[in-house]
Amino acid sequence: MELFTTYGTLLIILAAAFGFFMAWGVGANDVANAMGTSVGSKALTIKQAILIAMVFEFAGAYLAGGEVTSTIRKGIVDAEVFNDSPDLLVFGMLSALLAAGTWLMIASFMGWPVSTTHSIVGAIVGFAAVGVSTDAVNWSKVSTIVASWVVSPVIAGTISFAIFRSVQHLILIQDDPFAKAKQYAPMYMFAVGFLMAMVTILKGLKHVFKDIGISMTFGESIVWAMMFGIFLAILGSYLLSKVERNEALEASNRFANVERVFAVLMIFTACSMAFAHGSNDVANAVGPLAAVVNVVSSGGDIAAKSVMPTWILLLGGAGIVFGLATYGYKVMGTIGRKITELTPSRGFAAELGAAATVVFASGTGLPISTTHTLVGAVLGVGLARGIGALNLRMIGAIFLSWVVTLPAGAGLAILFFFFFKGVFS
């Protein structure tokens, strides 16, 4: 196609720039809310959270984020519609990246934790429905995504509520909470190990396994995750035997030593959630970029299959890390401090509830958003202490930003689509 012969290099450069911009938004918004519970509970400092996320998000994105071009489309648009006009698909993916990145930048500046997946999906729906045809959009798939606005936070909130209630009942209300924490912590360590292994296997390593020819069933994943959970419980018991009571800390807060135990647990949850998140959500930034590179490189052949170029994953991973390091603190503050007051035990319950929801969704094919899941988990922990523990005004602003995300992404993508179409046509 003449367009790709004349402007192919420029289109790929634009796609790379917009992909990096979108990845910056993923880092500033999505990664930040994944780390927010650890920072808000003071289990980790902002610098420590950024360092952990830099290592594990990048590792997840680069090592396990490969199968993304088809993943990000997720049946949202019918690629066959573009067989006779591949240029429209290229303009559309460029528009979607720029639109979603712009909305994530606005949301991050405002401190709103929004879904990066919904941002890019809204953008793709916008350009496809208005710029091409409403028949190009799989509306039933869009409706399941809208339904996940409710499903994700409700499931995560319910599980997190139950976990924190168990912490209250087994540890916090007991006469000697520190002794009870050391007694029951290995049980929670097993739960952490099991769920984090399940998240990593199902959301993180599945692409790696596929590339090297390993096929693992859901049942086999459970067995391996249980083995890892047992290992972590044994390791945890050993480490806890070294933790001594500091009575000076308990003079002002009888739970101070208990929170030291849960702060250790949160380091494990933060590392694993960062790896799984990087492997899954890097697709939001590099999926459309890979689609543009694929179409341009093949001269407009929509059906052409190609291996994901390594530089695309490197670009996505670097953009995510840069976004978190430069602007992630804003959304971290919203998740960690502005919804409800978090301590390590509450933050642990929220992260474990979110992880359990991700595992449940991966096993059942339920479409969820990690952002909505984590916010719902924090809400559940807050509700365990009563409705008065929640900042209802902030919660209202967050829910409003969720509702606006799809139409905002769509509207921006439509504007950018007709701009690119006019410039290059």
- pLDDT in the model for residue 43: 84
- pLDDT in the model for residue 216: 79
**Domain of 405?**
2-424
- pLDDT in the model for residue 393: 87
Task: Report which DSSP code applies to 245.
Answer: P
CB 15 within 8 A of CB 261: no
Q: How many domains does the chain have?
A: 1
What is d(CA 102, CA 289) in angstroms, rounded to the nearest whole number? 16
**17 to 23, 81, 115, 118, 285: CA distances (angstroms):** 10, 26, 21, 21, 11
Burial environment of residue 2 by CB neighbours within 10 A (0 to 12, 13 to 18, 19 or more): exposed
Task: Report which DSSP code applies to 81.
Answer: G
Cα distance between the two ends of the chain: 13
Give Cα 224 distance to the centre of its chain.
23
- pLDDT in the model for residue 171: 92
Rounded to two decimals, the pTM is 0.82
pLDDT along the chain (425 residues), means of 10: 82 95 91 80 84 83 59 62 84 94 93 86 90 81 77 90 93 89 89 82 69 79 92 86 81 85 83 75 82 84 70 88 86 80 88 82 70 88 85 87 90 95 86
Taken as a whole, the chain contains a residue count of 425
CB 179 within 8 A of CB 240: no
